[in-house]
Amino acid sequence: MAISSDSAAPAGRRVAPRRHRGDRSALARATIAALAVLLALVFVFSLTSGATDTSAAAVFWALVTGNDAAISTVERVVIFDIRLPRTVLGALIGASLAVSGAVMQGLFRNPLADPGIVGVSAGAGLGAVTFIVLGTGVLAPVAALFGIYHVPFAAFFGGLVTTILLYRVSTRHGRTSVATMLLAGIALGALAGAFTGLLVFWADDQQLRDLTFWGLGSVAGATWVKIAAVAPIIVPVVLLAPLLARGLNAMTLGEATAQHLGLNVQRFKRIAIVAVAAATGAAVAVSGGIGFVGIVVPHLLRLLIGPDHRYLLPACALLGAVMLLLADAIARQVVAPAELPIGIVTAAIGAPFFLWILLRRRGIVDL
Amino acid sequence: MLKAENIHVDLGRKTILHGIDLAAHAGRVTAIIGPNGSGKTTLMRALTGEIAFQGSATLNGVDIAGAQPWQLAAMRGVLPQSATLAFPFTVHEVVRLGLTSGIMGADGGDLVIEALKAVDLGGFEARFYQELSGGEQQRVQLARVLCQVWEPLLNDVPRFLFLDEPVSSLDIKHQLQIMRIAADYAARGGGVLAIMHDLNLTAAFADHVVLISDGRVFAAGKPPDVLTSGNLERVYDCPMRIGSAPDGNGMLVLPDLAAAQPIDHQNHASGDWNDATSGR
């Protein structure tokens, strides 16, 4: 594993800030900068790849200057009304899934806690499906009250309830049992799935088509309206998540020690749970079940820059966005001109990765 | 100073502490001793503000039950009996967690290095915490606690080290080293409250001893007044001999092996070691 091992500055010369062995801050900062550049590149790549062949330079020029003379009208429509919303939404969702995964893992003190695996996404999904199916019927007044936000809000509420139940069931005296957490997650996920199934049973044909595609997970059909519905939730959570970093670092040592270090543990847990549920709910509401981003991205970054959440959370936001855009590119390319739901791509890559983490931990940690 | 009056703690239906009075002054090492299950750790958890209790407890005049966690964190550090880590932090990163300014983002690397040297772990900065031995992990945690309350006096207000069995998994050299750090902290004006099992280290390093039995204070005072064979036999249910060291400097506290009950092999086929032998 890479560790920055620069020795202290030469005697007699002040070099600030001094770097110390075992302190991976400098590496982490460099990684974040590199990821930001990578995200910019992948963003442009995502805009330019697809059925219409567009020059990256022309797209970049049009984006930066607003002068779109170098691209044709068709290209303009394709890029600004189809690909740009899709790319923006993909980046938002990738960032949201990875950050909520990292926060949840920190909160549960476990690298296997992921909203998709422990049933939080299923709970959020139940909330979303409830409004997709009943939003035009019995729940129409509530839907009207929340406008375009009604599905994200319902998903947030479903995710919140599931997260609270999960934490209550799996945590005793400040320690979270992994076995209990995973089993409770399976049970809660199955319960949410059962109710979702009931709603699907009631759905009409049009709703059924919507639900099926939604359930597989996709950022296709992204519109500026969808972005407007979830960006006000995802952007603040992703940008403010680093404020949770100090608390998550302290929680690494357990709830009691976190409190000894000055953290108001109960209040912190409430804030973190709401943040996870909000980010997961928003992502699930527009893109359905995109699994494993929340577990793969934080895990890879912990291997690279260490688990300090001050750096881990921003890095997760960037790499999450990069990974989702790349997965979306694969989803568009594999069976072109048709496309796969992106959830299939992330699961095909993520599930074996999850098994690999389990195997690595076997023998080190008693599950 | 740390002052606790009439502390009662119920956990579930069981009453663990029945009205404990305790005073730990700055400038002293105060040791809490007592058998397993007597309520030592529960008492410490109450005094750190971790669990609810009845009675009154103040740290430098601040009500512990009503204080914000950050207020207490500025005045005392707590070393737990053992600490596991959820993620692969390096030793440097673990110790840095103790720096309030460090977790806020400032660079306190020099203090981290100093704290690690103090616990004889200089050069361990880049090692992974999870790969260390139990004793090394405990010393890393102590370095983290020292970082949190490095100066024993903050604006002339004493700070405290709360240590729950600080030497339980250490070899003899490091037991002495940790106890010297505690004694030095007290000598420089801070306060130390330590749960101890080793009665000889208690005799050697404590200025004030509180002997706890079944959730009550059985005796409290200077080591020679508390560590008497009568007190210890009553509380620990084990015959004890108290003597002085061969050179006449310091007390020796030893189990009286001749008077201790031998293992009854006929009635205890499985051999209940802890009851029959005197242990610690």
Decide if A171 touches B, using CB distance below 8 A: no
> B80–A262: do the CB atoms touch at under 8 Å?
no
Q: Residue A365 above 50 pLDDT?
A: no
B14/A22: higher pLDDT: B14
d(CA A249, CA A307): 8
> B69–A3: do the CB atoms touch at under 8 Å?
no
pLDDT (mean) for B224-253? 90
pLDDT (mean) for A183-192? 89
Q: Which residue of A has its CA nearest to B98?
A: A261
Residue range A310-330, pLDDT digits in tens: 999 999 999 999 999 999 988
A335/A122: higher pLDDT: A122
Residue type, A161: V
Residue range A251-296, pLDDT digits in tens: 999 888 999 999 998 889 888 888 888 888 888 888 887 888 999 9
Q: Residue B147 above 70 pLDDT?
A: yes
* Residue B191, burial from CB neighbour count under 10 angstroms (0-12, 13-18, 19+): buried
Kind plus residue range of the DSSP H or E element containing A313: helix A309-333
Quick one: three-class SS letters along chain B? Answer: CEEEEEEEEEECCEEEEEEEEEEECCCCEEEEECCCCCCHHHHHHHHCCCCCCEEEEEECCEECCCCCHHHHHHHEEEECCCCCCCCCCEHHHHHHCCCHHHHHCCCCHHHHHHHHHHCCCCCCCCCEHHHCCHHHHHHHHHHHHHHHCCCCEECCEECEEEEECCCCCCCHHHHHHHHHHHHHHHHCCCEEEEECCCHHHHHHHCCEEEEEECCEEEEEECHHHHCCHHHHHHHHCCCEEEEECCCCCCEEEEECCCCCCCCCCCCCCCCCHHHHCCCC
Decide if A110 touches B, using CB distance below 8 A: yes
CATH number at A250 reads 1.10.3470.10
Instruction: Chain B: give the shortest CA distance to residue A286, in Å.
Output: 32
**What is the pLDDT, as a whole number, of residue A338?**
78
Nearest to A310 by CA among B105, B139, B248: B105
**What is the pLDDT, as a whole number, of residue A331?**
86
Q: Assess contact for A151 and A128: CB atoms under 8 A.
A: yes
**What is the pLDDT, as a whole number, of residue A13?**
44
Of A51-55, A118-122, A313-317, B167-171, the range with the lowest mean pLDDT is A51-55
Share of chain A above pLDDT 70, in %: 84
**What is the pLDDT, as a whole number, of residue B247?**
83
What domains are defined for chain B? 2-237 (3.40.50.300), 238-280 (no CATH)
Domain tally for chain A?
1
pLDDT (mean) for A42-57? 75
List A residues 265-294 in contact with B (Cβ-Cβ < 8 A). Answer: 265
Decide if B172 touches A, using CB distance below 8 A: no
Residue range B69-110, pLDDT digits in tens: 989 999 999 999 888 888 889 999 999 998 864 344 445 668
**What is the pLDDT, as a whole number, of residue B275?**
47
The pLDDT-based confidence of A132 (bands split at 50, 70, 90) is confident
Q: Which of B72, B103, B131, B137 should be substituted to probe chain A, the one whose Cβ sees the most A Cβ atoms within 10 Å?
A: B103
Kindly state whether residue A361 falls inside one of the protein's structural domains.
no
Nearest CB partner across the interface for A252, out of B77, B86, B105: B86
Chain A hits for B84, Cβ within 8 Å: 254
**What is the pLDDT, as a whole number, of residue B201?**
94
pLDDT (mean) for A145-163? 82
Decide if B90 touches A, using CB distance below 8 A: yes
Q: Residue A137 above 80 pLDDT?
A: no
What tokens were used for B103? 């977790």
Kindly state whether residue A296 falls inside one of the protein's structural domains.
yes
Chain A hits for B109, Cβ within 8 Å: 17-20, 23
Q: Assess contact for B253 and B240: CB atoms under 8 A.
A: yes
Q: Which residue of A has its CA nearest to B122?
A: A21
**What is the pLDDT, as a whole number, of residue A270?**
82
d(CA A304, CA A308): 11
The pLDDT-based confidence of A9 (bands split at 50, 70, 90) is very low
Kindly state whether residue A6 falls inside one of the protein's structural domains.
no
Kind plus residue range of the DSSP H or E element containing A301: helix A293-305
Kindly state whether residue A248 falls inside one of the protein's structural domains.
yes
Which among A151-160, B111-120, B256-265 has the top mean pLDDT? B111-120
Range of the domain at A46: 25-340
**What is the pLDDT, as a whole number, of residue A74?**
73
Q: Given the structure tokens 């397993």, which residue do they identify?
A: B36
> A260–B98: do the CB atoms touch at under 8 Å?
no
Bridge partners (DSSP) of residue B7 are B20
Instruction: Chain A: give the shortest CA distance to residue B42, in Å.
Output: 13
Decide if A109 touches B, using CB distance below 8 A: yes
> B50–A256: do the CB atoms touch at under 8 Å?
yes
Q: Residue B172 above 90 pLDDT?
A: yes
